[in-house]
Chain A
């Protein structure tokens, strides 16, 4: 720790002394999704501007268009972004197609060690091929899908009594997926303070990645696996296992019996709207939004509680989050690397968490005060201990779109059975891997 701090301070000093003389002041553009943490990053980056003399521009794209826009930008060799905080699944394509600069030499030269970051985040956000020490990004934002609920409703005696009467159980933070469904069904179309409310807002979006992120939050706790043996691409029996079928049927039941009307194509924004407008008792969303939700004057503070995606057969949360990469088409790679060097410092990481970003740095996460620093901080650590991610293959977009289609067709458009949906998904995925020459 001490050594690292010294090194970091040294780096800061070096940076502040040498930057104006050696490197010309550049105008850097950082690309990310448009959401709460992005605003925090703007705030944080002001220090970098002051220290380095570079100026920062930001291109924030709304989530529904983020992948489309940014992958298009990378694939057309665009120079818009010097730095990109890209989604975890892009790393395979980013590395293999040469969109991202490989950071190993830079890390070695600057004394940045990946051992200083939480292992799950390094694995997911930085490495390609998975788990090998080849780094294409620095973990920037840890994230996972989790839940929040109306604590004020859960604590009301009349509601608690009604729940007890209806189910014979105590109303509490759900300890399993099925208990969560039961609670959601209990709230569905219930009158609270003269207003009809609904169970929960879940992800059902078709266009980008929404419903896949929602469905996997049920699949993982049921024990879903992408392959029988990792790295073998043998999916039959894994993707369509009885547990997977049961989990998918569960998600459909959840959608049909415990969500507000009209939430047929909803993702992050809709989930937030549903909760903030007091329509739902619970909602799923990424940890990234939790600071904002907690600060909300109407439904935040005492009125909100948070919990990790409940287990069923096992623990499991859907991974979100991103690493920060340098785009290989950029003409300002040196300045961009300077930014990463600055960002990796423990003090900056601490400030990052303070401002509402989810640092993946051990010095922040292992700090004894971390779990008490926010009501969802403990949950975050717990979730990050059992996260799983979607395929991160270079062909990830094809794999994702196939899943979006099969799952949305089944869950929302009510076509076929869960078994058929997953069988077809295996067919689609097999085709993709055959095209890739991996099968």
Chain B
């Protein structure tokens, strides 16, 4: 970019634009920062009026998130002095920790189902995308459109027959059921994105390999796959984020064994009403990986979003 270009914006307009954008970015961050702060508040501080910006940080929310507790009599409390710092925290409410909460399990379910379905959709998607990109497939355009149009169905509408089908097959509330389902939802996007990336890899590389005596399979995984690695990685991130965030199917088709974190987090309750610090702590733990991912991998991600959209 040469500074002589007449289309290069002036310094003043840059400064002006920058200020506005930074301002917007800061406003955008307020809810996120607030929820992270809330995770470190005591329940009383969390619901105080006016809202507290300065407060004594405590790990109460995190302790409540990861443990189940019961109230105990004074005698019992006197006999059993607190052992850990977490015990100390819950003692102020005459409670003792009796075990871990379900959050860890739910979080692990998110991890298993998220990575499982991402692996499967990227694996199948890469194969299909390669085929669509390189071979003449009858009705290819129709097939591609069909693959994409399946995303137009409201999830609740799809969920009705899926629910019936899964009930019949015993897939309700199983990891496998959710992995298959998320894969089916993700695969359309995966095929579209990956086809774009593979289209960009010059065919000459493969042709050369084939002439050298490689089989198609060898050419595919020794030549094409390494070239498409970046594309595959960014597609994987998209699939992972979708599966990680999905709520509608999870709330309808899982109840305990395979329930993921999104339907679980809003139902964390404390004494009486919602335990906001624990909810906030859960939200923070759940959202943070995505945020870190986004910032670290921003180049690929941003390209992926626009690329997927602009291709059509």
Direct contact of A and B (CB under 8 A): yes
Contact B274 A77 (CB under 8 A): no
Q: With the chains together, A407 CA to B71 CA distance in Å?
A: 37
Write out the residue numbers on chain B whose beta carbons fall within 8 Å of the beta carbon of A73.
173, 255
A133 at the A/B interface (Cβ < 8 Å)?
Answer: no
Contact A276 B167 (CB under 8 A): no
Write out the residue numbers on chain A whose beta carbons fall within 8 Å of the beta carbon of B98.
42
Q: A43-B70, A61-B267 are in contact. Are A76 and B167 (CB under 8 A)?
A: yes
Contact B70 A42 (CB under 8 A): yes
A427 at the A/B interface (Cβ < 8 Å)?
Answer: no
Q: A61-B267, A80-B173 are in contact. Are A270 and B273 (CB under 8 A)?
A: yes
Contact B252 A72 (CB under 8 A): yes
Contact B172 A76 (CB under 8 A): yes
B288 at the A/B interface (Cβ < 8 Å)?
Answer: no
Write out the residue numbers on chain A whose beta carbons fall within 8 Å of the beta carbon of B269.
34, 62, 269
A420 at the A/B interface (Cβ < 8 Å)?
Answer: no
Write out the residue numbers on chain B whose beta carbons fall within 8 Å of the beta carbon of A62.
267, 269
Q: A39-B71, A65-B267 are in contact. Are A276 and B166 (CB under 8 A)?
A: no
The residue in A75, A269, A270, A276 that gathers the most chain B C-beta atoms within 10 A of its C-beta is A269
Q: A61-B267, A65-B267 are in contact. Are A78 and B272 (CB under 8 A)?
A: no
Q: With the chains together, A62 CA to B166 CA distance in Å?
A: 25
Checking B71, B163, B255, B271 against A69 with a beta-carbon cut-off of 8 angstroms, the contacting residue is: B255
B259-275 interface (Cβ within 8 A of A)? 267, 269, 271-274
Q: With the chains together, A39 CA to B269 CA distance in Å?
A: 13
Contact A272 B167 (CB under 8 A): no
Contact B255 A80 (CB under 8 A): yes
What's the interface size class on B, roughly? 10 to 19
Contact A77 B167 (CB under 8 A): yes
A59 at the A/B interface (Cβ < 8 Å)?
Answer: yes
B23 at the A/B interface (Cβ < 8 Å)?
Answer: no
Contact A64 B267 (CB under 8 A): yes
Least distance between B120 CB and chain A CB atoms (Å): 23
Contact A272 B255 (CB under 8 A): no
Q: With the chains together, A72 CA to B251 CA distance in Å?
A: 10
A170 at the A/B interface (Cβ < 8 Å)?
Answer: no
A331 at the A/B interface (Cβ < 8 Å)?
Answer: no
Q: With the chains together, A86 CA to B267 CA distance in Å?
A: 19
Write out the residue numbers on chain B whose beta carbons fall within 8 Å of the beta carbon of A256.
none
Write out the residue numbers on chain A whose beta carbons fall within 8 Å of the beta carbon of B256.
59, 80
Q: With the chains together, A86 CA to B47 CA distance in Å?
A: 33
Checking B173, B257, B267, B271 against A76 with a beta-carbon cut-off of 8 angstroms, the contacting residue is: B173
Contact A80 B257 (CB under 8 A): yes
- Mark contacts of B234-258 with chain A using CB atoms, 8 A cut-off: 1 yes-contact digit, 0 otherwise: 0000000000000000001001110
Write out the residue numbers on chain B whose beta carbons fall within 8 Å of the beta carbon of A270.
273
**Which B residue's beta carbon lies closest to that of A80?**
B256
Checking A42, A43, A272 against B273 with a beta-carbon cut-off of 8 angstroms, the contacting residue is: A272
Q: With the chains together, A203 CA to B222 CA distance in Å?
A: 65
**Which A residue's beta carbon lies closest to that of B253?**
A76
Q: With the chains together, A75 CA to B172 CA distance in Å?
A: 11
Contact A78 B172 (CB under 8 A): yes
A273 at the A/B interface (Cβ < 8 Å)?
Answer: yes
Write out the residue numbers on chain B whose beta carbons fall within 8 Å of the beta carbon of A69.
255
Contact B274 A76 (CB under 8 A): no
Write out the residue numbers on chain B whose beta carbons fall within 8 Å of the beta carbon of A272.
272-273
- Mark contacts of B142-173 with chain A using CB atoms, 8 A cut-off: 1 yes-contact digit, 0 otherwise: 00000000000000000000010011000011
Least distance between B257 CB and chain A CB atoms (Å): 7
The residue in A72, A270, A295 that gathers the most chain B C-beta atoms within 10 A of its C-beta is A72
Q: With the chains together, A295 CA to B71 CA distance in Å?
A: 11
Least distance between A30 CB and chain B CB atoms (Å): 12
Checking B252, B255, B267, B271 against A78 with a beta-carbon cut-off of 8 angstroms, the contacting residue is: B255
**Which A residue's beta carbon lies closest to that of B70?**
A39
Q: With the chains together, A272 CA to B274 CA distance in Å?
A: 11
Q: With the chains together, A269 CA to B271 CA distance in Å?
A: 8
**Which B residue's beta carbon lies closest to that of A75?**
B167
The residue in B98, B166, B273 that gathers the most chain A C-beta atoms within 10 A of its C-beta is B273
Q: With the chains together, A208 CA to B245 CA distance in Å?
A: 24
Contact A76 B70 (CB under 8 A): no
- Mark contacts of B207-246 with chain A using CB atoms, 8 A cut-off: 1 yes-contact digit, 0 otherwise: 0000000000000000000000000000000000000000
Contact A269 B267 (CB under 8 A): no
Contact A72 B272 (CB under 8 A): no
Least distance between B37 CB and chain A CB atoms (Å): 21
- Mark contacts of A270-300 with chain B using CB atoms, 8 A cut-off: 1 yes-contact digit, 0 otherwise: 1011001100000000000000100100000
Q: With the chains together, A64 CA to B252 CA distance in Å?
A: 15
Checking B167, B172, B173, B273 against A269 with a beta-carbon cut-off of 8 angstroms, the contacting residue is: B273
Least distance between B262 CB and chain A CB atoms (Å): 13
Write out the residue numbers on chain A whose beta carbons fall within 8 Å of the beta carbon of B173.
73, 76, 78, 80
Q: A65-B267, A76-B173 are in contact. Are A269 and B272 (CB under 8 A)?
A: yes
- Mark contacts of A300-330 with chain B using CB atoms, 8 A cut-off: 1 yes-contact digit, 0 otherwise: 0000000000000000000000000000000
A58-91 interface (Cβ within 8 A of B)? 59, 61-62, 64-65, 69, 72-73, 75-78, 80
Write out the residue numbers on chain A whose beta carbons fall within 8 Å of the beta carbon of B267.
61-62, 64-65
Write out the residue numbers on chain A whose beta carbons fall within 8 Å of the beta carbon of B274.
269
Q: With the chains together, A34 CA to B274 CA distance in Å?
A: 12
**Which B residue's beta carbon lies closest to that of A73?**
B255
Least distance between B102 CB and chain A CB atoms (Å): 9
**Which A residue's beta carbon lies closest to that of B71?**
A39
B69-113 interface (Cβ within 8 A of A)? 70-71, 98
Contact A72 B255 (CB under 8 A): yes
Least distance between B260 CB and chain A CB atoms (Å): 14
Using a CB–CB distance below 8 Å, which chain A residues touch chain B?
34, 39, 42-43, 59, 61-62, 64-65, 69, 72-73, 75-78, 80, 269-270, 272-273, 276-277, 292, 295
Q: Given A73-B255, A80-B256, output 7 extra A-B contacts at Cβ < 8 Å.
A: A39-B70, A39-B71, A43-B70, A72-B252, A73-B173, A76-B173, A269-B272
Q: What would be 30 A-B contacts, judged by CB atoms less than 8 Å apart? A: A34-B269, A39-B71, A42-B98, A43-B70, A62-B267, A62-B269, A64-B267, A69-B255, A72-B252, A73-B173, A73-B255, A75-B167, A76-B166, A76-B172, A76-B173, A77-B167, A77-B172, A78-B172, A78-B173, A78-B255, A80-B173, A80-B255, A80-B257, A269-B272, A269-B274, A272-B272, A273-B273, A276-B272, A277-B47, A292-B271
Using a CB–CB distance below 8 Å, which chain B residues touch chain A?
47, 70-71, 98, 163, 166-167, 172-173, 252, 255-257, 267, 269, 271-274
Q: Which 7 A-B pairs have the closest CB atoms?
A: A269-B273, A272-B272, A76-B172, A273-B273, A62-B267, A76-B167, A73-B255
